[in-house]
Structures are given as structure tokens and as C-alpha cells.
Structure 1
Amino acid sequence: MTVAQHALLVMDVQRAVVDRYPDPAYLPRLREAVDAARAGGVPVIHAVVGFRPGYPEVSARNRMFGGLLRAGAPAGADATATAAAERATAIHPDIAPEPGETVVTKRRVSAFAGSDLDMVLRAGGIDHLVLTGIATSGVVLSTLRQAADLDFGLTVLSDGCLDADPEVHRVLTEKVFPQQAEVTTVADWAAKIR
């Protein structure tokens, strides 16, 4: 019998995203999961959404990201505007990667879309993902579906995910996700790996 190699996937916990989902208990709870993973020898992988200058990866037809094309910085934007944009899309400092931790940049909602996540996981022998992130109905749902189709084992830390709509979060974590993943809490998962 082989033992599954797990990785904790922390998704879209970037300053600009965190600011849109105010929950003062979320980051400390997520930090507990990150600390437990590090202490237990479980790799922590951060997935962030990002685009090249000028957003060449974004289609105007894309309802979620197409607005970036209309709201983008004007030609000749100064260094201050660029620095502000980089700060907004940076991983929140409360769960910032440690040296040696992998950060993948995705171009759409799923952590796999437009990133090298699958290659990183397979190269590392990782076959089980522990999912956390913002939002439950966005990156977590999309990544869970794609990871399941790629035959990864899955765990979702229900309180390590956050959504603007508590009812949507509840339905996903209690009814939808259990069809493809084990769903548990940060505290219960952390107790198992320490």
C-alpha cells in the first residue's frame, strides 16, 4: 500500500481579494493550517491569480476578468501605480510563503488554469490536495472539480475557505464537496498531521 503525498493549497489569498471578504477570524484560522502543514512536513503551495502587463491573457468576452481590460492602467502609467497594483495582488503577509515554497500563477479561476500547478504536483509526487482559499464558490470549487478529474485525492478545509455568501459556502461544503472530497475543519486536520 502506498501512502498519499499531501500538499496544502492556499489559493487567492492576495491582499486585494482578502480586502473584499472582511472576516477577522479567517486569516488566523488559515495561518493555523499553514503552520500545521509546515510543522507536519506537508508542502504548502500558494496559487495566485495574475496577468502580464496589458493583460494579453484576458479576453474581453470573459465576464470575470474582461473588466481588467476596461479598467487597466493608462498607457505610460507611472511606477507608483505599478507598485500599488503589485501590492494589491501580493499574497497577504499573514500567510506569506516561506523561502522554498512554491507559488504558481494562474490565469483564470481554477488553480490549474494557465498555471504549471499540475506539473509541480506530479514532479513532487503529490497525489492528494488539501484545499483552502477565497472564494469557496470560485477558486475552491473550480480547483476541486479539475483536481478530481485529474484523479487527485482531495480534502477541503471548510473553515479554511471563505465566500461572500454564507449560504453558498454552506451548500458547497456540506452537500457538493463531500461527493468528491473529504471535508473537515482546520483544527481537525491540523490535529491529524502534527
Structure 2
Amino acid sequence: MTNALIVGDLQSGITRDYPFTRKLLPVISEVLPTARAAGVLIVFIRTELRVNGLDVAPSNAVISACHAAGDIYHQGSPGTEVDPALKIADGDVIVTKRRGSAFTGTELDMILRGRGVDSLAVAGVATSAMVAATVYDAFDRDYRLTVIADACADPEPDVHDFFVDSVFPGRGVDVTTARSWAAGLRDPREAAASSGGQEHGETGEPASEV
């Protein structure tokens, strides 16, 4: 089994303007070295829209609202860059998307298949948006799936809890904690011990961007 960690929409404009997202930065930063050491492909997903709006459909209220929010999502803006607290490393991949799912209209699936990845862990914001859309899309592509509950967040905490406690497990997703997931990369037998029996649940290549 070959693993990838998908970290979605933790870009500078979002972490600047939406305080609920910032608590995820230390959680994800802590597991990245372990993941890289275990050979996990790290994929950072960011959302970017053309300033002239050619990729924004008026019928899509969510994407229209994102475009209207300004430099958080505008192509070429510093707000679309991955938050520097996450410290992108050689061998990590950056994928730019224009819709909710990390797969829609992107090269993500091609990159994962090319690296032989068959198992995904998903983190980022928002739980009910990017995370859920990416999970559903990945299921349709037959990936094994894990959601790292404390590495995801939603502006509505009860919505986050509903997805990680009910929706994702009900669809066969393994929901776990960052600590337990990282422990399992070192030694699968450590995973249960790291969570106290409870589950909430480098390559030398330069970083690439698509």
C-alpha cells in the first residue's frame, strides 16, 4: 500500500481571514516529517480563480462567492500560496484547483496513479466542503481513505463533528487522529496505543506545482 497525504486549502489568505483554520497548522506541521520519512507523498491543494472570472460560472453560488472574496482566491495573489507555516519540502507536490474537490479539473489523479498511490489521508478545510468533496471523489476512483479528524475543521463545529462522527464512518472511511495516523506510519501496532485505543476516529526531487 502506497500512501499520500492531501492537505487542502490551507492557503495564506484563508488562514489569515478565517481564524478557525489556524489551529490546524501546528497539527499538520507535526505529522509532516514522520509522513515524509515513511515515504508518504505530500500533496498541498490550493484554490485559485482567474481574476477576470472566466472560470467562474454564475450558476455556481459557492465559486462565485469565492471569487468575490478577492485575493484569497485570485490567481497570482499571495493569498493563494500555501501557508508558510506548513514548510513545503523537496518532493512535495502543489496542485491548484478551481472547484471544491481536489480532483475536479486537476492532475491530482494522474500524479497519484503515476506514483502508485492507492491510499489517501485527507486533511484541511473545510470538512463539509473540500474534505467531503475530495473524499467522495476519491471513493469513486477506488482509493482507500482516511480522514484525519483533528487535522480538519469547519466554520461550524457541529457540522465538522457530524461528518467525522457519522457521515465519513458510515461510508467506510477510516477516521483517526493525527497522532494515531503518524504512529501507524512508524509501526501499525503503535496506532491504537497512540490514541489510547480510541479512534476519532523524501525524495530528492524538487517540489513541483501543477
Shorter-chain TM-score bucket reads 0.7 to 0.9
1:10 to 7, 13, 21: 7
Which residue matches 1:147? 138
Per the alignment, in what secondary structure is the counterpart of residue 99 of structure 1?
Answer: coil
TM-score by length of 1: 0.86
State the superposition RMSD in angstroms: 2.0
* Aligned partners of 1:106 and 1:113 also within 8 Å: yes
Which residue matches 1:78? none
Instruction: Go from structure 1 to structure 2 and tell me whether the alpha carbon gap of 1:72 and 1:31 turns closer, same or farther (over 3 Å shift).
Output: closer
| Residues 38-57 of structure 1: pairs in structure 2 closer than 5 A | 38-57=36-55
Identity %: 37
Which residue matches 1:111? 102
- Higher RCO (CA 8 Å, separation ≥ 6 residues): 1
1:133 to 124, 137, 145: 124
Instruction: Go from structure 1 to structure 2 and tell me whether the alpha carbon gap of 1:70 and 1:132 turns closer, same or farther (over 3 Å shift).
Output: closer
CA deviation profile, 1:124-160 (whole Å, cap 9, x unmatched): 1101100001110110000000101111000000001
CA deviation profile, 1:37-62 (whole Å, cap 9, x unmatched): 11222110111111234231111221
CA deviation profile, 1:65-117 (whole Å, cap 9, x unmatched): 224665669xxxxxxxx89x621111000113213311111110000111111
1:156 maps to 2:112 = no
Alpha-carbon distance in 1 for matches of 2:150, 2:69: 33
Shift of 1:185: 0.1
TM-score by length of 2: 0.80
Alpha-carbon distance in 2 for matches of 1:31, 1:39: 14
Which residue matches 2:168? 177
Per the alignment, in what secondary structure is the counterpart of residue 32 of structure 2?
Answer: helix
* Aligned partners of 1:136 and 1:162 also within 8 Å: yes
Q: Which 10-residue stretch deviates more, 157-166 or 14-23?
A: 14-23
* Aligned partners of 2:24 and 2:124 also within 8 Å: no
Shift of 1:17: 1.5
Alpha-carbon distance in 1 for matches of 2:44, 2:28: 12
* Aligned partners of 1:17 and 1:134 also within 8 Å: no
Which residue matches 1:31? 29
| Misfit runs of 4+, over 6 Å | none
Which amino acid in the other structure matches residue 34 of structure 2?
A
The gaps in structure 2 that reach 5 residues or longer are: 187-210
Alpha-carbon distance in 2 for matches of 1:167, 1:59: 30
Which residue matches 1:95? 86
* Aligned partners of 2:146 and 2:176 also within 8 Å: yes
* Aligned partners of 1:47 and 1:105 also within 8 Å: yes
